[in-house]
Chain A
Amino acid sequence: MNRPFAVRVSNVSHSYGTHRALDKVGFEVAPGEIFGLLGPNGGGKTTLFRILATLLPIQEGTVEIDGHDACSDVSGLRSRIGVVFQSPSLDIKLTVRENMIHHGHLYGLYGAALSAAVNEGLARIGLAERAADMVETLSGGLKRRVELAKGLLSEPSVLILDEPSTGLDPGARRDLWAYLSALREERGTTILVTTHLMEEAEHCDRLGILDRGRIVSSGTADTLRGKIGGDILTIRSTGADALCAALNQRFSQEAEVIDGTIRLESPDARHLIRQIYEAFPEQVDAISLGRPTLEDVFIHETGHQFWNE
Chain B
Amino acid sequence: MRNVLAIAWRDIRSVFVSPIAYVVLTGFTLLSGWFFFNMLGQFNRLVAQYSMLQGMDTTWLNLNDAVITPLLGNLLVVLLIVIPMITMRSFAEEKSSSTFELLFTSPVRVGEMVLGKYLASAFLVTAMIAISLVFPAILFIYGNPELGITAAGFLGLYLTALAFVAAGNFTSALTSNQIIATISAMVILLLLFVIGWPAEGAGEPIKSILVYLSVTEHFQSMLKGVLDTRDLVYFASVTIVFLFLTHRAVESARWK
B225 to chain A: closest CB distance in Å? 42
Tell me whether A89 and B255 are in contact in the complex, defined as CB-CB below 8 angstroms, given that A102-B9, A105-B6 are known contacts: no
In the complex, per-residue mask of A77-102: 1 if CB is within 8 Å of any chain B CB, else 0: 01101010111111101100010001
CB <8 Å contact, A106 and B9: no
CB pair A89 B99 closer than 8 Å: yes
Map CB proximity to A onto B87-114 as digits: 1 under 8 Å, 0 otherwise: 0000000000111011111111000000
Q: Does B230 contact A (CB under 8 A)?
A: no
B18, B98, B101: the one within 8 Å of A93 (CB): B18
A184 to B206, CA, bound (A): 68
A75 interfacial by beta-carbon distance below 8 Å = yes
* Per-residue contact bits, chain A 49-61, to B (CB 8 Å; 1 contact, 0 not): 0000111110000
Scan residues 7-39 of chain B and give those whose CB is less than 8 A from a CB of chain A: 7, 9-10, 13-14, 17-18
Q: Are A78 and B101 in contact (CB under 8 A)?
A: no
B45 at the interface (CB under 8 A from A): no
Contact A94 B13 (CB under 8 A): yes
* Count, chain B residues at interface, CB 8 A: 23
The answer to whether A106 and B104 touch (CB under 8 A), given A89-B99, A94-B14, is no
Size of the A side of the interface (Cβ < 8 Å), in residues, is 28
Which residues from chain A contact B14 at a C-beta distance below 8 Å? 91, 93-94
Given contacts A83-B105, A94-B13, contact A56 B99 (CB under 8 A): no
Question: Is there an interface contact between B255 and A106, defined as CB atoms closer than 8 Å?
Answer: no
A120-138 contacts to B (CB < 8 Å) = 134
A17 interfacial contact with B, CB 8 Å: no
Q: Looking at A85, A89, A103, which has the most chain B CB atoms within 10 Å of its CB?
A: A89
Q: Decide if A170 is an interface residue (CB 8 Å cutoff).
A: no
B-facing residues in A253-295 (Cβ within 8 Å): none
Chain B nearest Cβ from A151, distance in angstroms: 9
Q: State the main secondary structure of chain A at its contact with B.
A: loop
Q: Is the CB of B107 within 8 A of A79?
A: yes
Query: How far apart sit A270 and B98, CA to CA, in the bound complex (Å)?
Result: 50
Pairwise interchain contact B107-A106, C-beta atoms closer than 8 A? yes
Tell which of B17, B104, B107, B255 touches A94, judged by Cβ atoms closer than 8 Å.
B17
A110 within 8 A of B: yes
Q: Which residues of A contact B3 (CB under 8 A)?
A: 105-106
CA distance A83 to B98 in the complex (A): 11
Residue of B nearest to A98 (CB): B13
Residues of B within 8 A of A4 (CB): none
Residues of A within 8 A of B97 (CB): 87-89
- B7, B98, B107, B255: the one contacting A107 at CB < 8 Å is B107
Q: Which of A89, A93, A108 contacts B17 (CB 8 A)?
A: A93
Cα separation A110 to B3 with both chains bound (whole Å): 11
Which of A93, A102, A134 makes the CB contact (< 8 A) with B6?
Answer: A102
B-chain residues with CB within 8 Å of residue A90 when the two chains form the complex: 99
Determine how close the nearest CB of chain A comes to the CB of B88; give it in whole angstroms. Answer: 15
Chain A residues with CB under 8 A of B104 = 54-55
B6, A89: Cβ atoms closer than 8 Å: no
Residue pair B6, A55 in contact (C-beta under 8 Å): no
For the complex formed, measure the closest distance between the CB of A285 and the CB atoms of chain B, giving whole angstroms: 47
- Which residues of B215-256 have CB atoms within 8 Å of chain A's CB atoms? 254-255
Instruction: For the complex formed, measure the closest distance between the CB of A95 and the CB atoms of chain B, giving whole angstroms.
Output: 9
A108–B9 Cα distance when bound, in Å, is 14
User: Can you pick out 19 interface pairs between chain A and chain B where the beta carbons lie within 8 Å of each other?
Assistant: A53-B105, A55-B254, A78-B105, A85-B98, A85-B102, A86-B98, A87-B97, A88-B98, A89-B99, A89-B102, A93-B18, A102-B6, A102-B9, A103-B102, A105-B2, A105-B6, A106-B7, A108-B107, A110-B2
Chain B interface (Cβ within 8 Å of chain A)? 2-3, 6-7, 9-10, 13-14, 17-18, 97-99, 101-108, 254-255
* Chain A residues within CB distance 8 Å of chain B: 53-57, 75, 78-79, 81, 83, 85-91, 93-94, 98, 102-103, 105-108, 110, 134
Since A55-B254, A106-B6 are in contact, a sample of 4 more A-B pairs with Cβ atoms closer than 8 Å, ordered by chain A residue number, is: A91-B14, A98-B10, A98-B13, A102-B10
